[in-house]
Structure 1
Amino acid sequence: MLRGLYTAAAGMMTQQRMHDTVTQNIANVNTPGYKSVNEAARSFPEVLISLVGGNGPGSSQIGKLNTGVFAEETQPTYTQGDLRETGKSSDFGLESSLELVDPATGQPYAFDQSGKFVKADGSVVYRPQAFFTVQDNSGNIRYTRDGSFHVNGAGELLSSTGFKVLGSNGQPLVLDRPINDLQMDSKGNFLYNGAPTNQQLQITVAASPYELVRNGNGVYEAADPQKAGLRNMTAADAVTVRQGSLEGSNVNTAQSMVDLMTAQRAYEANQKVIQFYDKSMDKAVNDVGRV
């Protein structure tokens, strides 16, 4: 078996998947609330190579051999996107800078720019994230950062995908006044002429956002709400709702172009290796085989 041939083929498939992931990020650079995704690659388990026979009894160990790499999973990056003003009363942007306290020290974790903190034992803690709460057409609860809402003829507040936006009571929001006559405070409460109404957006906080599953169109679902640590936002949470604004995507276009070229070059390198093996086998069959 030509191990190098299979290793190069596995590398090509992995780089193709990474290329597709970066392309998806670039295609959604202007999608409100879009969170970029990263491909995590992992090597196949190493194989122990031994020499059987030789000068001594039994077998002698030669060493370990890696047999390739594969794209293990796709993970989103929940960093804050830039807020841009739209002037539309039905647009809402979330600005989140939630903290998490280390139970061992009683101090907040010092999250890095990607929103993670690596403990001394190697375990990783992620920054909690806030989401708008919506209900899909089948009645399932979903979560999104895309606040480009609109109001239908029945006064229901709908997301860009047509899902019903939920209020703090867990029910779909039905506005009793035109959206242009309503204002919103920083905690998602609707105001009329400066006075609070009884309607409020339901903002859900996920203590473990990486437990959420991407459901398409910028919408996430929680397979296990308890594991994701879902709860309703409180007034003490460092989450701000801004009316007339939208959160842009957090895609870094410059880094995406670099990643795109890197994946392409690595793909071409593995392709050259396969071509080399092809020529070697052609030589072995057609030339050496004749002798």
Structure 2
Amino acid sequence: MLDVLRGLYNAAAGMVTQQRRHDTVTQNISNVNTAGYKQNDTVIRSFPEVLVSMIGGEPGNPRHVIGKLNTGVFAEESIALHLQGDLRETGQASDFAIVSELNVIDEDTGLGMVFDGSGRHVGEDGEVTYRPQAFFTVQDNNGNLRYTRSGEFRVGPEGQVLTSAGFQVLGADNQPIVLTGGAADLTVNEQGFILDGAGNPTGQTLGVAVVSAPNDLVKEGNGLYRLNNEDGFRMLAAGDNVIIRQGYIEASNVDASKSMVELTAALRAYETNQKVVQFYDRSLEKAVNEIGRV
């Protein structure tokens, strides 16, 4: 009976895990056309293994160890994949995209770290380092500093540069950007400097922050992220491999084809666990109504 209950719980845990995986992939697909959106991946891990022993197994060894048993899986967390998305030209002067390929020097070798397809570098000691990423800095309605890769900006009636949700875009000095001549003055070079009609810097710069550990960012909606670690970012510096493209926006980095395959896999895994639950349910029914009756 204990084995039946254990199997029932394992299958139920699998159903819950696949449901969360399904929800994550569905969210990715629904944001496939959202500018600056970063794909989320569900991290699935197993529960800690337990030792199975037999009471009175051998003389002098009342708890003979049989072996280890896994007790199911769970969806531990959902991690955003902060990789560069494709650029889409819009022709709008208020649209901006960040193109970044920031490097990190390995202190042990003195060479640049090589990052894999998920933006991770695993050192010889197993330490994981994520590639730093650049973000536009904005200010929400409560005056809090936030970060975004969605550069679909607009110019307000008083010359302030705003996000599509109405939040103020900040400059390199963490102050809201206000254009003296309105939208006509919004010309930005690849370094983020705002230029006047003659192509000369006006003294204002788009605020771009470099987040050293982008996986520490927390999503808040409207394409915004917050960073709880105040020391986890710095402003863009000369020499950083980051450029600003005006008249472009960064598309979502969601792979629609891969997401559909993963969605189908999650659905099938859910159905398989569901059938296992039904099997154990019928076994328990027989144990109670037929075997128990005897």
Same fold at TM > 0.5: yes
TM-score when normalising by structure 1: 0.97
Aligned: 1:159 with 2:163:
yes
User: Which of 197, 205, 210 is the matching residue for 1:200?
Assistant: 205
User: Which of 138, 141, 147 is the matching residue for 1:137?
Assistant: 141
SS in 1 for 2:68: strand
| Residue equivalent to 1:9 | 12
CA shift for structure 1 position 59: 1.1
Aligned residue pair count: 289
Distance in structure 1 (CA, Å) of the matches to 2:87 and 2:212:
23
Does the 8 Å CA contact 2:179/2:185 hold for their aligned counterparts? Answer: no
| Residue equivalent to 1:146 | 150
Distance in structure 2 (CA, Å) of the matches to 1:46 and 1:182:
59
SS in 2 for 1:50: strand
Q: State the percentage of identical aligned residues.
A: 56
Letter in structure 1 aligned against 2:291: V
Distance in structure 1 (CA, Å) of the matches to 2:105 and 2:59:
60
TM-score when normalising by structure 2: 0.96
Distance in structure 1 (CA, Å) of the matches to 2:264 and 2:124:
35
Distance in structure 2 (CA, Å) of the matches to 1:113 and 1:63:
37
Letter in structure 1 aligned against 2:133: Q
CA shift for structure 1 position 124: 1.1
RMSD (CA atoms): 1.0
| Residue equivalent to 1:275 | 278
User: Which of 89, 102, 107 is the matching residue for 2:106?
Assistant: 102
Q: Structure 2: any 5+ residue segments left out of the alignment?
A: none
CA shift for structure 1 position 117: 1.1
Relative to structure 2, which stretch is displaced further, 83-92 or 209-218? 209-218
Distance in structure 1 (CA, Å) of the matches to 2:184 and 2:159:
12
Q: Give per-residue Cα distances to partners, 1:228-284, cap 9 Å, x unaligned.
A: 2x0000121111101110000000111101110111111011001000001111111
Relative to structure 2, which stretch is displaced further, 247-256 or 217-226? 217-226
Q: Give per-residue Cα distances to partners, 1:135-163, cap 9 Å, x unaligned.
A: 11111100000000111112111111211
Runs of 4+ in 1 over 3 A off after TM superposition: none
Distance in structure 1 (CA, Å) of the matches to 2:114 and 2:57:
57
Distance in structure 2 (CA, Å) of the matches to 1:44 and 1:113:
27
Distance in structure 2 (CA, Å) of the matches to 1:213 and 1:181:
33
Q: Give per-residue Cα distances to partners, 1:93-114, cap 9 Å, x unaligned.
A: 0101111111111110011222
Aligned: 1:241 with 2:244:
yes
